[in-house]
A and B are shown apart, each in its own frame.
Chain A
Amino acid sequence: MKKPATLVDKIWDSHVIMDLGQNTYLIHVDRNFQHELAGATSLNGIDKAGRKIRNVELAFAVMDHVLDTHPGRGDETPIPGGTGFIREFRQRATSHGIRLFDLDDPDQGISHVISPELGIALPGCTYVCGDSHTCTVGGVGALAFGIGSTDVEHVFATQTIIQTKPKNMRVTFNGKLGREVFAKDIILYLIAHIGAAGGIEHAAEFAGPVIRNLPIDGRLTICNMAVEFSARTGIVAPDDMTLEYLNGRRFAPKGEMWEKAVAYWRTLPSDQGAYFDKEVDIDCNNVRPQVTWGTSPEHSVAVDGRVPDPAQAPDSHSRMTMERAITYIGLEPGTPMEKVKIDAVFIGSCTNARLSDLREAARILKGRKVVPGMRAVCSPGSYQTKLKAESEGIDRIFREAGFEWRESGCSMCMSGGAGGEGFSPGQHVLSTTNRNFEDRQGRGVRSHLASPVTVAASAITGHITDPRKMGA
């Protein structure tokens, strides 16, 4: 009898080209997706060294990071030096014959959003991108790694990466999601529970009844934040919902090839009795909508909770970390989160800018207006998402509520930190993104993370708001 194997083990083992010893392997990369920031640097390195791209047919490229998201955009961007990245990436990608979704392409969008939408990320494939949120596409069952630009060069030149094999971790989400509780809330809850380093050295498989009932959009949101607890990646086993989602997508296999792929994908889920080095069980019945109070995604509490008191921290180091975070965020310990005033909101990013996110936010925003003085921006995750939202009248609901309706890109998740379009120092920004780090959305900006529904509700009231009280 074969030893029971995990989903990650099965994908890993089927991609090993060489065992390099000490748990380190040369691994084949099936899909290589690059953007203008890491991509420009790595193609520059490839060209300077006079190297060839080994498998250009397995490479994809998109503009998403530094490009402007204002309507009518071109190569000019508010991010200093950004235009250089856009133009150099376009020129080098084109000269190598890499398939590029340029800023005016109907399939343009954030790489982690368009990749599943286009059927580029597939179950059981190994997948890399020069971005830490590459783990997002684990939501369709791909084994995805974010890598640095030199490793991107390595993939371009060799179609492989050298990696140590991750340990196996399983996070089981039990119970049911309560009213106005979404994928974002349970992943923030998990990170608060296990800490920002809780997944270090592990690949996290997300499982359990909540995941099985969760549509692909939500699975992508959960996997997106695996890196926020320093997991090597996040993944969900493919099932009927995955197949239904992928079938017919532009780059997904078709006909007989599809049937053959499906037969293989059916063998991928973790075997009964497979060993996990770490197991975490979360009872979702107890999870309320979440919001962050500090400067790490682990600083998350229920929206009807309070800013914690560092005096009650378990050790002196945690206390120092909490005190630093509280000083930056400018809130008193014990303050109810619902008393925190919000100056601006952003709905977008690879975490929460898919169609279901926009629909849920629109449900709250319909017939309402954001409070006077509130800056509200929405950037759909992809051009196709934007078009679909517009065909459902969602753009009108956002606009009438007082939101800017933007083009797709990383937008205000990274622009402010990159010296582009940000918020003002000291402002509290409630955001559907994944990082509330210091200065992430602009110098001194105080970022709070939440689900699209909580963000929409708070935009209406002007303070952090429990969406369960909105009555929509």
Chain B
Amino acid sequence: MEKFTRITGVAAPLMRRNIDTDAIIPGKEMTKVEKTGYGDGLFGQWRYIDGNRKENPDFILNRTPYRNAVILLADANFGCGSSREAAVWALTGFGIRCVIAPSFAAIFYNNSFKNSLLPVILQDNQVHELAKQVENSGGKGSVTVDLEKCKVIGPEKQIYSFKVNDIYREMLLQGLDPIDATLRYESKIAAFQKKDRINRPWIYQY
């Protein structure tokens, strides 16, 4: 997995609540058994007019400088709805490395870390403040997200701290494969099952 340490760049404010994964990557974009190639489909129904690839000039990611965004700012409950991991692959495929929001739906949040996309939770007023400052600068004021220091630096140099679990942080900083990381605990998994087969044999009856 690609490492994530620190990024600086354009942040695009898409300040809507409850942005669902159907909106992030429409089902009709998911036509292949692959984890790549979803960037063009990102926000497909909002980004393009009439289902073809003609850009909707009003949509933020079709405007300069936001079409080069590496950070997305959104309102609460980002990534709700379907568990489709293609929502994460579409964001990373487009070039987004970090989403900053007051809250995330759990499945999307978990999926992000497995794909080197950093979900950052800031307070509601902080996200809105960041969005306002980005807008005031016409999008030119860049935002930095530093995972080593767990800090976001806004366009006007104000600093916001965020928290992320050590296990996920290490995974991103070192670019660890989550499955390989867990396979190191195989002896513990085996020990659990050995005991559990006695306590709850019906679970293993097949």
Q: Using a CB–CB distance below 8 Å, which chain A residues touch chain B? A: 17-18, 20-22, 24, 26, 28, 30, 37-38, 40-41, 44-45, 49, 51, 54, 57-58, 80-81, 84-85, 88, 122, 124-125, 130-132, 134, 146-151, 153-154, 157-160, 162-164, 166, 196-197, 200-201, 227, 230, 232, 251, 253, 257-258, 260-261, 264, 296, 298, 317, 320-321, 324, 414, 417-420, 435, 437-440, 443
Is B159's beta carbon under 8 Å from chain A? no
A88–B202 touching, CB < 8 Å = no
Is B174's beta carbon under 8 Å from chain A? no
B residues 46-66 near A (Cβ < 8 Å) are 51
A17–B18 touching, CB < 8 Å = no
Report 6 cross-chain contacts, Cβ distance below 8 Å, ordered by A residue. Answer: A26-B182, A157-B179, A197-B103, A200-B106, A253-B205, A438-B45
CB distance from B80 to the nearest CB of A (A): 5
Q: Which residues on B sit within 8 Å (CB–CB) of A125? A: 203
Q: Which residues on A sit within 8 Å (CB–CB) of B201? A: 257, 260
Which of B18, B45, B193, B202 is most buried by chain A, counting CB atoms within 10 A of its CB? B202
A148–B189 touching, CB < 8 Å = no
Least CB separation from B27: chain A residue: A418
Q: Describe A's contact surface by its main secondary structure.
A: mixed
Whole-angstrom CA separation of A413 from B196 in the bound complex: 39
Query: Of A18, A124, A320, which contacts B185 at CB under 8 A?
Result: A18
B28–A80 touching, CB < 8 Å = yes
Which of B115, B185, B189 is most buried by chain A, counting CB atoms within 10 A of its CB? B189
CB distance from A446 to the nearest CB of B (A): 14
Binary interface profile of B, 54-96, with partner A (CB < 8 Å = 1, else 0)? 0000000000000000000001110011111100100000000
Whole-angstrom CA separation of A148 from B79 in the bound complex: 12
A147–B185 touching, CB < 8 Å = no
Query: Of A24, A84, A197, A232, which contacts B80 at CB under 8 A?
Result: A197
Given A17-B188, A148-B88, A160-B182, A418 contacting B28 (CB threshold 8 A): yes
B33–A85 touching, CB < 8 Å = yes
Q: Which residues on A sit within 8 Å (CB–CB) of B107? A: 132, 146-148
Is B20's beta carbon under 8 Å from chain A? yes
Q: Which residues on B sit within 8 Å (CB–CB) of A21? A: 165-167
B114–A148 touching, CB < 8 Å = yes
B residues 157-206 near A (Cβ < 8 Å) are 165-167, 178-179, 182-183, 185-186, 188-189, 192-193, 196, 200-206
